[in-house]
Structure 1
Amino acid sequence: MSDAREKTARIASLRPTYRTDLDAGTDRFFHPRDTSCPWCSSPRLTPRLSTTDLLQHKPGRFTLDHCADCGHTFQNPRLNDEGLEFYYRDFYDGLGEQRMSGTLGGRTAMYRSRAEAMLPHDPAPKTWLDVGTGHGHFCEAARAVLPDTAFDGLDFTDGVELAAREGRVDHAHRGAFPALAPELAARYDVVSMFHYLEHSTDPDRELRAAHETVRPGGHLLVEVPDPESRYARLLGRWWLPWLQPQHLHFMPVANLRRRLTERGFTVVAEQHAEPHDPVDLLAAVWLALDHTAPREDAPWLPGRPGPLTRAARTALLLTGVPALLAATALDRWALRPVSHRLGLCNAYRLVARRE
């Protein structure tokens, strides 16, 4: 059976389960709406963004609220455990596993840059735990920078076990980080959280777990989307790092610096230009094109799109190729050198030492 036919058959086999999930509606996937900020408890909340799932196109609508006092942005109402399972399903694993593995596995230069951020503070850590490691691609690439470091991975999906089987991580820890932290207490010279904290239901609990896991004098390396990026305002719902419905919390850098200090860390480095991933315009154009085009086959659709629908989708996406190429050129060559000066960086990175 060809890959296309195998995928079609697999989608068809999943359709009844998704149909059962959706027949009960999507309201059951959410907690009650919060009336105060989860970061500072202020009741002064204003809507910042309302959008749909622009990547998988699963049904549902998602709202991000902004705290007028501390600047924290968060999903409100927030997905509950059932909702998180539904919207994560077939994104990183299942149907999406091969696509995401190829996407994440091809970013070796970015992964090495992340490892290099630690060199001025600890040029030879013996042990490193990567939290939210996925399939372990960062750990694999980081060995070229730190060949004598033992890299362990932690994730709640089976991707971390795959990473161990493939030799990308030395040891795999599967489960929730706060639950595993007591058995990992003070074991690691470095703990990293690369684009992990924004996915967590309780970022403060994750930071407490990190403090427990890092040895005294060791370091925590955190990288998250920057909600103060000018792109977040200019591109609106088409700004990729909003990544609804997966991203639950967006912390301004000042907020995270203060919280790290409160949790017993000292921030020793703050970076904006280095973690910037120059894809904002390209991603925005793609998201808009993909949103406008007819849907491709997916198990959460009532049925497989017909040949005319598939042809229309292909034709529309082809018309967008010049815009995609132009956006790529702007991202990578025109704007990247001045992104920090213009306030366009889409992420920031903090290195913090445990006292």
Structure 2
Amino acid sequence: MPAPAAPSVRRLRSTARAILPFTEPESWLDVETGDADFPEAARTLFPYTAFDGLDLSHRVLHAQAVERLEEGYLGRLTDPQITAHLRARYDVVSLLNQRPRAKDLRAALAVLRPGGHLLVESTDDPRAELLSQGCTIVTTARRSAHIPGRVTTRLPPTVTGPPASAARALDHALALLLAGTRFAKAYRVIARKNTDSSAP
């Protein structure tokens, strides 16, 4: 599996660097991780952190096989079996380049340990929902989002080979076309799960 292009790595590391002032996590779950480009880039800043990934695509299992992830989980975070299995396991959970719904945020908080941090990058502002779940917002910024998996995240898990490669190439082309537009801007919010949080 080829490494991400250098500009993408810089962008991904910038996102990971945002967590540095708040915690040195032992465990980190990246949701919709795909090929685990984000954990691979973040590992240079957090060499002692165990990175796990979750994705609907079988790419997450390949990422585990090539040791980009400690553990790879196939499915949705909102699946009750996955949420129960991962409950209170992580110091950091990242939801990047998504439009997380209230139930996605609740599931992410459920797998965080008390005092853990949720890193969200989204075109929608998640702060009101996070506050309603008993979190403390520790930082908010508007920034350029890293390359989204717009096409690849919609492929059925069984699609591999040339069609998957074509989808990744299209994602990259879209990212270049959207750079500098309002579609490339995202809220970056880091929220802390309080010890008395009412998250399930």
For the superposition of Structure 1 and Structure 2, which TM-score range results when normalised by the shorter chain?
A: 0.7 to 0.9
Report the secondary structure of 1:195's partner residue.
coil
Map of 2:4 onto structure 1: 105
2:90/2:116 contact within 8 Å kept: yes
Instruction: Find the aligned partners of 2:84 and 2:183 in 1 and give their Cα distance.
Output: 39
Aligned pair count? 163
The structure with more strand, counted as a fraction of residues: 2
Instruction: Find the aligned partners of 1:143 and 1:277 in 2 and give their Cα distance.
Output: 19
Indicate whether 1:350 and 2:182 are aligned.
no
Q: Give the counterpart of 2:136 among 237, 241, 266.
A: 266
Residue by residue over 1:6-54, the C-alpha shift from the partner in whole angstroms, topping out at 9 and shown as x without a partner, is xxxxxxxxxxxxxxxxxxxxxxxxxxxxxxxxxxxxxxxxxxxxxxxxx
Map of 1:129 onto structure 2: 29
2:12/2:146 contact within 8 Å kept: no
Map of 2:158 onto structure 1: none
Residue by residue over 1:306-328, the C-alpha shift from the partner in whole angstroms, topping out at 9 and shown as x without a partner, is xxxxxxxxxxxxxxxxxxxxx99
Q: Give the counterpart of 1:212 among 99, 106, 110.
A: 110
Map of 2:127 onto structure 1: 257
- How do 1:100-249 and structure 2 match up within 5 A? 105-106=4-5, 107-122=8-23, 124-179=24-79, 180-196=82-98, 198=99, 203-225=101-123
Report the secondary structure of 2:144's partner residue.
coil
How far does residue 191 in structure 1 lie from its aligned partner after superposition?
0.3
TM-score (norm 2): 0.74
- Answer with 1 or 2: which has the greater Rg: 1
Q: 104-113 or 150-159: which moved more?
A: 104-113
1:211/1:264 contact within 8 Å kept: no
Instruction: Find the aligned partners of 1:350 and 1:117 in 2 and give their Cα distance.
Output: 10
Report the secondary structure of 1:261's partner residue.
helix
Q: Which runs of 5+ in 1 are unaligned?
A: 1-100, 226-250, 280-298, 300-326, 332-338
Q: Report the CA distance shift for 1:278/1:221 in structure 2 as closer, same or farther (over 3 A).
A: closer
How far does residue 345 in structure 1 lie from its aligned partner after superposition?
6.5
Residue by residue over 1:91-127, the C-alpha shift from the partner in whole angstroms, topping out at 9 and shown as x without a partner, is xxxxxxxxxx86x9221111111110001111x1100
Instruction: Find the aligned partners of 2:70 and 2:91 in 1 and give their Cα distance.
Output: 15
Partner amino acid for 1:173? Y
Partner amino acid for 2:39? C
How far does residue 344 in structure 1 lie from its aligned partner after superposition?
8.9
Instruction: Find the aligned partners of 1:149 and 1:267 in 2 and give their Cα distance.
Output: 23
Instruction: Find the aligned partners of 1:145 and 1:137 in 2 and give their Cα distance.
Output: 14
Map of 1:27 onto structure 2: none
How far does residue 159 in structure 1 lie from its aligned partner after superposition?
0.9
Percent identical across equivalent pairs? 38
1:133/1:154 contact within 8 Å kept: yes
1:265/1:353 contact within 8 Å kept: yes
Q: Report the CA distance shift for 1:167/1:344 in structure 2 as closer, same or farther (over 3 A).
A: closer
TM-score (norm 1): 0.42
Instruction: Find the aligned partners of 2:56 and 2:39 in 1 and give their Cα distance.
Output: 17
Report the secondary structure of 1:349's partner residue.
strand
Report the secondary structure of 1:269's partner residue.
strand
How far does residue 151 in structure 1 lie from its aligned partner after superposition?
0.4
Instruction: Find the aligned partners of 1:259 and 1:109 in 2 and give their Cα distance.
Output: 30
Q: Which runs of 5+ in 2 are unaligned?
A: 148-162, 164-176, 195-200
RMSD, aligned CA: 2.7
